[in-house]
A = this chain, B = another copy of it.
Amino acid sequence: MRDNTATVPVDPPGGPRGLGLGEFRLRGGFWGGLQAVNTAATLQHCLEWMERLGWITNFDRVARGDTGGGRPGWQFSDSEIYKLMEALAWEHGRTGSPWAEEALASLTERVAAAQDDDGYLNTCYGHAGQAERYSDLSSGHELYCTGHLLQAAVARLRTTGEDKLVEVARRAADEVCRTFGADGSDGICGHPEIEVGLAELGRALGEPRYTEQARLFIERRGRGTLKPVTLLDASYFQDDIPVREADAWRGHAVRALYLAAGAVDVAVDTGDSGLLNAVERQWERSVERRTYLTGGMGSRHQDEGFGEDWELPPDRAYCETCAGIASNMVSWRLYLATGEARYADLMERTFYNVIAASPAEDGKAFFYANPLHQRSAAADVRPDEVNPRAEGGVRAPWFDVSCCPTNLARTLASWQAYAASVEGNRVSLLQYANGDMRIEIGDGELALRITTEYPQEGAIRIEVLETPSEPIGLRLRVPHWADGASLADETAAFAVEPGWAAIRGPLKVGMTVELSLPVEPRFTWPDERIDAVRGCVAVERGPLVLCAESTDFPEAATIEDLRVDPSQPLRPESDGATIQAVFAGGGARPGLPYRSEPPKSASAATTELRLIPYHRWAQRGSAAMRVFLPTV
């Protein structure tokens, strides 16, 4: 591990810095558990599937000049290898895993062998029997793939240092700058991603040319230059409105969010407050009107996109796992740019209720879409073949378009980076997890031991084991839902408000503070403008959104008949809750389902119904499920 303070995915100049991967060692718990499964299963799983499907062999075929005939995988399949490489780089950097190092080295050799002399690197375009380079910027995804290559190289550079992967990335980035620079083509890629890749590689290598190229791509966008794709308009790829003029995110959610992340990078590096303010405005508007209770984004299947304001159907929610990851990419950059707790708040919600929902317990199957309502138990997946991407209700081992598993792998491998930030001589704890922090700060090191059963329990104990000689401050994020939180230090307990709770005075060795967050189950009502869940209530517990799953229903009860009474108390149970429910339906009546009288609540016995964390749904088998529960 190199200099700990810089082993982070995102490292803008000025402002807080994220936690270096080596600065926080998880001791089990929620995120430690997920990270361990990623280590033990998911990385290898991704590697095996991409080898089996020939997506890695595509590089070998280019290297040996054998590019005629059918090429397996979509045109963007190279990006999956790069995201896995990024994951392997973080994994090796965090744990020193020889397996990860060897797998990465092997992939690096095969990728490097496919690079053209001038730095261009793509297995789908530009070689014998293939379409010309950059001949289809709308759908070709070449710059998108390159962006992921650059992010992989950043991970390598920050964990190990310059090597062959970094050299490959540098040559690829140079080719992009030559081709698309101020004197070159004025094209942009249909799928943003090159922007974040260029900006961060520029930071990591000290190459302002790369940031400038990212800036050009951001500025060119929104002017309708991309060739439209059938049935979709320019908003699908955010080519309808310039980034600095848009008020909300729209179109394909992952595209919109990768673009926004790149825009923050450019804004920070160039001191462009207008551009930064534009992304903050878009975040605000989109969080207010286009975001699910889970933090999920993307209301439509058709274009994997945002819908209009208040268009938030729970059943057809797309909430792609990758959009959750991309949302956190944006929020993290905005947090680093502003230090505002609200960005870390949304990240926590998304971590627990989108990102954690995707992987199966064994780390070998994944949700791609994350709907909040499943009407009927899903059919089984195809275990040995690729699955359609958007089938809800059952985790699949691999997808036709398989962006989510590798995106998850790189996110979980680097989770520590988002747990805290350091700004001068102050540390901010952002995400709570059981573990040991050792942070380079001031004139030495700060060591903290964090002990918690969060999110199941609300107590978070922080022991100060070591401090530098300079005085160090500590503040703790109090989530926006945490009404009634309190903080106890050596002398007293006092109430704290959502936002930040600062420890009084500098940290001292031997000191223990305890944050208590109220994680009793609570009712949450949707804004009355969200048509699709009118007359419903949800239940949350700490950062966890809960759901009702048909696995827990009385015999013969169906999800369409479930009603709950929010005037009755909720009772905590394990990491979920029990609620008073009735199943009062009588099935459909003949004829159209529209009547001349208002619906009457049939009387039925009240039953206790268990609610479980949303992120665990369908773990006990395929089931019907809903987050928003109709009230009696």
Residues of A at under 8 Å CB distance from B? 230-233, 284, 287-289, 291, 293, 300-302, 307-311, 313-316, 342, 346, 349, 373, 375-376, 388-390, 400, 480-481, 483, 522-538, 560-561, 566, 585, 588-599, 630
- A535 to chain B: which residues have CB within 8 Å? 534-535
- A534 to chain B: which residues have CB within 8 Å? 534-536, 630
Whole-angstrom distance from the CB of A619 to the nearest CB of chain B?
22
Sample of 26 A–B contacts (CB below 8 Å) = A231-B400, A232-B388, A287-B592, A288-B588, A288-B590, A288-B592, A288-B593, A293-B592, A307-B315, A307-B316, A309-B560, A316-B316, A349-B592, A523-B596, A524-B596, A526-B593, A526-B599, A527-B593, A527-B595, A529-B560, A529-B561, A529-B593, A530-B593, A531-B536, A531-B630, A534-B534
Compute how far the CA of A598 lies from the CA of B527 in the bound complex, rounded to whole angstroms: 8
- A293 to chain B: which residues have CB within 8 Å? 592, 594
Compute how far the CA of A596 lies from the CA of B589 in the bound complex, rounded to whole angstroms: 36
- A526 to chain B: which residues have CB within 8 Å? 593-594, 599
Q: Is the CB of A480 within 8 A of B525?
A: no
Q: Is the CB of B525 within 8 A of A599?
A: yes
- A588 to B, closest residue via Cβ: B288
- A288 to chain B: which residues have CB within 8 Å? 588-593
A599-B231 contact, Cβ under 8 Å, with A288-B592, A293-B592, A592-B287: no
Q: Is the CB of A596 within 8 A of B481?
A: yes
Question: Which residue in B284, B529, B591 is a CB contact (below 8 Å) of A480?
Answer: B591
Number of chain copies forming the complex? 2
For the complex with contacts A527-B594, A530-B593, A534-B535, 14 further pairs of A-B residues with Cβ separation under 8 Å are A231-B389, A231-B390, A284-B590, A287-B591, A287-B592, A302-B302, A309-B375, A309-B376, A310-B560, A311-B375, A313-B313, A481-B596, A527-B595, A529-B560
- A349 to chain B: which residues have CB within 8 Å? 592
- A529 to chain B: which residues have CB within 8 Å? 560-561, 585, 588, 593
Question: Which residue in B232, B342, B630 is a CB contact (below 8 Å) of A591?
Answer: B342
Q: Is the CB of B291 within 8 A of A316?
A: no
- A232 to chain B: which residues have CB within 8 Å? 388
- A531 to chain B: which residues have CB within 8 Å? 314-315, 373, 532-533, 536, 630
Question: Which residue in B309, B388, B483, B589 is a CB contact (below 8 Å) of A231?
Answer: B388
- A596 to chain B: which residues have CB within 8 Å? 481, 483, 522-525
Compute how far the CA of A585 lies from the CA of B375 in the bound complex, rounded to whole angstroms: 31
Question: Which residue in B533, B560, B566, B585 is a CB contact (below 8 Å) of A598?
Answer: B566
Whole-angstrom distance from the CB of A349 to the nearest CB of chain B?
8
Whole-angstrom distance from the CB of A160 to the nearest CB of chain B?
39
Compute how far the CA of A321 lies from the CA of B308 in the bound complex, rounded to whole angstroms: 23
- A231 to chain B: which residues have CB within 8 Å? 388-390, 400
Q: Is the CB of A313 within 8 A of B525?
A: no
Q: Is the CB of B525 within 8 A of A595?
A: yes
- A523 to chain B: which residues have CB within 8 Å? 596
Question: Which residue in B291, B314, B590, B599 is a CB contact (below 8 Å) of A528?
Answer: B599
- A313 to B, closest residue via Cβ: B313
Name the residue in A527, A529, A598 with the highest tally of chain B Cβ atoms < 10 Å from its Cβ. A529
A594-B538 contact, Cβ under 8 Å, with A375-B309, A389-B231, A630-B531: yes
- A375 to B, closest residue via Cβ: B308
In the A-B complex, the 6 residue pairs with the smallest Cβ-Cβ separation, listed nearest first, are: A527-B593, A528-B599, A535-B535, A534-B535, A301-B302, A288-B588
Compute how far the CA of A592 lies from the CA of B373 in the bound complex, rounded to whole angstroms: 19
